């Protein structure tokens, strides 16, 4: 976020071992698209600047670090 124009607060959660057990049950007019990416695909999205929101990039980088997927 840009502190001069935004004051949003972001919380990041990492869950592992999840699995799909049912189809979505959306409310009328609700439209949610769920996308699945491998760790390598996420790394490539970051490398190629395809993530348009810095908060998304930050969340993925925190997750990759927690999973031991970042090389320093």
Q: Can you state the angle between helices 39-47 and 54-66, rounded to 10 degrees?
A: 140
Predicted pLDDT of residue 6 = 77
- What are the structural domain ranges in the chain? 32-72
**Residues 48, 49, 51, 55, Cα dihedral to 10°:** 130
Give the global pTM: 0.77
Q: What is the pLDDT of residues 19-59, one digit of tens each?
A: 999 999 999 999 999 999 999 999 999 999 999 988 899 99
Predicted pLDDT of residue 30 = 96
């Amino acid at each position: 976020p840009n502190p001069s124009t935004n004051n949003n607060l972001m919380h990041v959660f990492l869950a592992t071992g999840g699995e799909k057990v049912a189809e979505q049950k959306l409310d009328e007019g609700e439209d949610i698209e769920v996308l699945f990416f491998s760790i390598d695909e996420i790394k490539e999205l970051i490398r190629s600047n395809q993530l348009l929101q810095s908060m998304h990039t930050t969340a993925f980088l925190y997750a990759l670090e927690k999973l031991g997927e970042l090389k320093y």
